[in-house]
Amino acid sequence: MKVRINKYLAACGLGSRRRVENYINQRKVSINGKLARLYDYVYPEADTVMVGGKIVKPKSFEYYILNKPKGIVSTTKDEFDRKTVLDFVRSRSKQSLKIAGRLDINTTGLVLLTNDSRLVEKIIGPKSSVPKTYKVLVAGDLSQNQINRLQTGVDLGGYITKKAKINNIKRFSGKTEFEITLYEGKNHQIKRMCERVKLSFLDLQRISIGKLMLGCLAIGQVKKLKAEFIAKAFDL
């Protein structure tokens, strides 16, 4: 099956489809010895694609989601020898995996692990606007004024947060649970936002990244996802 040249180069790990277009415009890409054009297509099984005089082929990407438990650190290696999110997949993968969106040690929920650098950049890069949804638990009630402030922007001390969405508010036993969707990722952002609007923060769980949902994955459980599924979930 033929694929567009920019999509093919992105699958080779050379960056996003937009980024690899620069290689084509700079006349660094050839297909079967001829300079590639932006609208060219490639037959991966038959054509020879070169960038800067070197043959490039699609990498074998792996994608895993983990429902991170509390007490687990989101890092590739911990100086205090604590258990990390990568420890959950070491027996299943020999790839050098990256974390596409870290979580605090006491935050549970969806973590995506992959060796696909273009996806990591899309999710956590400085220009990323991929939505991430969290389930938040606070003490007491959640007023309409607090909802409005969380949604329109909160001053975290020199920085105003981007607009957010609040959904599925549930009140029970002197506590309130709600979902908040962010389009950015600052350090301890949700906890700091709650503190600024005088909410007593209790617990946090990430339930989605883009169209990728945590679903019914149990705490501590890992699931491997197909590349085709990831491509649809993140419009790759």
Domain with residue 197: its CATH number is: 3.30.70.1560
Write down the catalytic residue from 47, 78, 104, 203: 104
Do residues 176 and 80 both lie within one domain?
no
Domain with residue 36: its CATH number is: 3.10.290.10
Do residues 90 and 190 both lie within one domain?
no
Do residues 165 and 147 both lie within one domain?
yes
Range of the domain at 168: 132-209
Determine contact, residues 61/114, Cβ cutoff 8 Å. Answer: yes
Q: How many domains does the chain have?
A: 3
* Residue 155: active-site member: no
Do residues 149 and 203 both lie within one domain?
yes
pLDDT value at 1 more than 80: no
Q: Convert the pLDDT of each residue in 45-65 to its tens digit.
A: 899 999 999 999 887 889 999
pLDDT value at 207 more than 80: yes
What does 48-79 look like in DSSP terms, one character per residue? Answer: -EEETTEE-------EEEEEEPTT-B-SSS-T
pLDDT value at 146 more than 90: yes
Q: Is the dihedral of CA 74, 77, 78, 83 positive or negative?
A: positive
* pLDDT score at 220: 97
Amino acid at 217: L
CA dihedral of residues 75, 78, 84, 88 (deg, nearest 10): 110
